[in-house]
Amino acid sequence: MKGFAMYHLTALVTLLAIAFYLFVCINVSRVREKTGVKVPATSGHPDFERAFRIQMNTLEWMPVFLPALWLFAIYIGDAIAAGIGAVWIIGRIVYFIGYSKAAAKRGPGFAIQGIAALALWAGALGAVVLRMV
């Protein structure tokens, strides 16, 4: 496992992102119980619907974020990837807080995480292309 030793920070950010996703999953169950929305319904109360969309939007972004995070770490560097990855997580937290209050308040968090994900993707793409030439 010597080759992976240089990616401790990226691994930590990956685990934190997964922990955040587990948190939003548990939150959906908590809000489902609180609002009385019975399984398998995915609508019925605005608080539940917002919690469900937070979970689903987080899930929708993970296939963009995680490969971009790791490719950025491999091709550019662990610390920079982890730093941008931490910004992504912060954006998801801001998104969670805003969207939990009202759908109209989700924008700032979405922008933060979107910019971070795009930076990871663009950086990884650029680094891969440069190595191919």
Whole-structure pTM value: 0.95
**Section 85-114 average pLDDT:** 98
Each residue's pLDDT tens digit, 41-51? 999 999 999 99
Residue 40: CATH number of its domain = 1.20.120.550
Token pair for 126: 């650029």
**Start-end of H helices in the chain:** 8-35, 46-75, 78-101, 107-132
- Tally of domains within the chain: 1
